[in-house]
């Protein structure tokens, strides 16, 4: 690597640990949830031992995922609000997908798509947390009317499917932009990657160092 091809810190260690904790708990939640909800997928619960054990562990994994997301929320929320150029980024989505993001708008820490996905996941997870607590047998469900529990079970299932779609989209885009995954594994990205995809963030980062 040449002298100019340096790396810059993208994600701190606590954020990376929280991210992979969320990933692991999400996978276990998806496996147990799909196995418990769809009879044809009941075999998936065998990954966790048995349907009974999967039913017990499912809400536990949910709590772990929420705790991980709390860390990610406070580590990223300051950069998740709309900024100048976000609207232009959205209007030129086709050019962005073609790899011309740097020609569309000068992106900061996160682009408009990442911000929208961030708030979508936070919103869905908040609904999942509330509805999950209400339907949690045998601890909380007995305190609510049957109609409320049924409604919450429906909302919980719907939001779970939407969350699965959102996170898979997040994972796909992470692989789509070559070099992105490195930031969440090692915590650093190359300066050329940062300059191409997040030039304003790189300039701000280097300005702080100076």
Annotated catalytic, 79? no
Please say whether the beta carbons of 66 and 21 come within 8 A. no
Instruction: Give how far the C-alpha of residue 9 lies from the chain's centroid of Cα atoms, to the nearest Å.
Output: 20
Residue among 79, 92, 102, 170 flagged as catalytic: 170
Residue numbers annotated as active site: 170
């Amino acid at each position: 690597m040449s002298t100019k091809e340096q790396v810059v810190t993208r994600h701190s260690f606590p954020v990376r640990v929280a991210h992979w904790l969320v990933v692991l708990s999400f996978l276990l939640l998806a496996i147990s949830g799909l196995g418990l909800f769809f009879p044809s997928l009941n075999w998936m619960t065998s990954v966790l031992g048995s349907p009974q054990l999967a039913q017990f562990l499912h809400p536990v994994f949910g709590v772990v995922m929420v705790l991980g997301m709390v860390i990610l929320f406070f580590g990223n929320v300051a950069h998740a609000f709309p900024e100048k150029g976000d609207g232009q980024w959205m209007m030129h989505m086709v050019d962005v997908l073609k790899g011309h993001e740097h020609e569309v708008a000068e992106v900061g820490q996160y682009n408009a798509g990442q911000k929208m996905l961030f708030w979508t996941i936070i919103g869905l997870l908040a609904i999942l947390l509330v509805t999950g607590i209400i339907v949690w047998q045998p601890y909380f469900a007995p305190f609510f009317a049957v109609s409320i529990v049924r409604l919450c079970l429906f909302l919980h299932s719907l939001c779970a499917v939407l969350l699965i779609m959102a996170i898979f989209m997040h994972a796909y885009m992470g692989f789509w932009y070559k070099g992105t995954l490195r930031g969440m594994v090692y915590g650093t990205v190359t300066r050329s990657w940062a300059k191409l995809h997040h030039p304003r963030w790189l300039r701000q980062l280097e300005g702080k160092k100076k």
